[in-house]
């Protein structure tokens, strides 16, 4: 069943870059079901977080039900964070870094709450072999904390080659100006 979980996890990320967020959600929900049946609570929480993440991207892109999708995303992230907080496992540390990046960034997108540099302290203390993976995200979120309008413009430039991310960036620019 772990192989089936991984199949659905990877299938969801085939749909993400092409903006097929609802298909990605369906894959993540199947992954969660498989994990639940196998007794893999952490795997289930990760799948549910990914489903909420994809659903939020769909809502932002369509500019519909964004607040509802964000609230679901925040709840799923909170449940996952509680499960893995303080774990010394590299996998869990990477997920905490992921949550540390995504949560304040989407909170800015949706609720216009500018993240603080304090929000990012966890990223500064990552193990050496993980830190480079999250360096760009740290820089982007730091820029948001200092100058949200400039951050939105840079985000749009960075995402020009990715249609779904670029459309989200344009929505963000509209919200910050």
Residue closest to 105 by CA, chosen among 38, 40, 161, 154:
154
Task: Please give the pLDDT value at position 118.
Answer: 76
What's the start-to-end Cα distance of the chain, in Å?
Answer: 47
Instruction: Convert the pLDDT of each residue in 115-167 to its tens digit.
Output: 877 777 888 888 888 888 887 777 777 877 777 777 767 666 665 555 555 45
| 42-46, 59-63, 145-149, 168-172: the lowest-pLDDT one | 168-172
Residue closest to 140 by CA, chosen among 84, 110, 100:
100
Percent of the chain with pLDDT over 90: 37
Task: Please give the pLDDT value at position 170.
Answer: 52
Task: Please give the pLDDT value at position 37.
Answer: 94
Does the pLDDT value for residue 10 go beyond 90?
no
Q: Which residue has the higher pLDDT, 177 or 124?
A: 124
Average pLDDT, the chain: 82
E strand or H helix at 100: helix 90-111
Task: Please give the pLDDT value at position 155.
Answer: 67
Task: Please give the pLDDT value at position 177.
Answer: 46
Instruction: Convert the pLDDT of each residue in 16-49 to its tens digit.
Output: 778 888 999 998 999 999 999 999 999 999 999 9
- In terms of phi and psi (left: phi > 0; alpha: psi -120 to 50; beta: otherwise), the region of 115 is beta
């Amino acid at each position: 069943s772990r192989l089936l979980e991984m199949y659905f996890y990877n299938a969801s990320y085939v749909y993400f870059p092409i903006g097929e967020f609802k298909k990605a959600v369906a894959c993540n929900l199947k992954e969660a079901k498989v994990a639940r049946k196998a007794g893999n609570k952490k795997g289930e929480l990760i799948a549910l977080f990914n489903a909420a993440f994809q659903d939020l991207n769909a809502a932002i892109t369509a500019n519909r039900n964004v607040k509802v999708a964000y609230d679901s995303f925040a709840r799923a992230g909170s449940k996952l964070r509680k499960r893995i907080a303080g774990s010394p496992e590299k996998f869990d540390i990477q997920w905490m870094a992921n949550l540390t990046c995504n949560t304040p960034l989407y909170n800015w997108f949706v609720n216009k709450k500018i993240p603080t540099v304090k929000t990012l302290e966890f990223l500064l203390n990552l193990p050496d072999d993980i830190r480079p993976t999250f360096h760009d995200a740290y820089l982007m979120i730091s820029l948001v904390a200092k100058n949200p309008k400039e951050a939105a413009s840079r985000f749009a430039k960075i995402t020009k080659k990715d249609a779904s991310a670029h459309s989200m960036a344009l929505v963000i620019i509209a919200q910050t100006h």
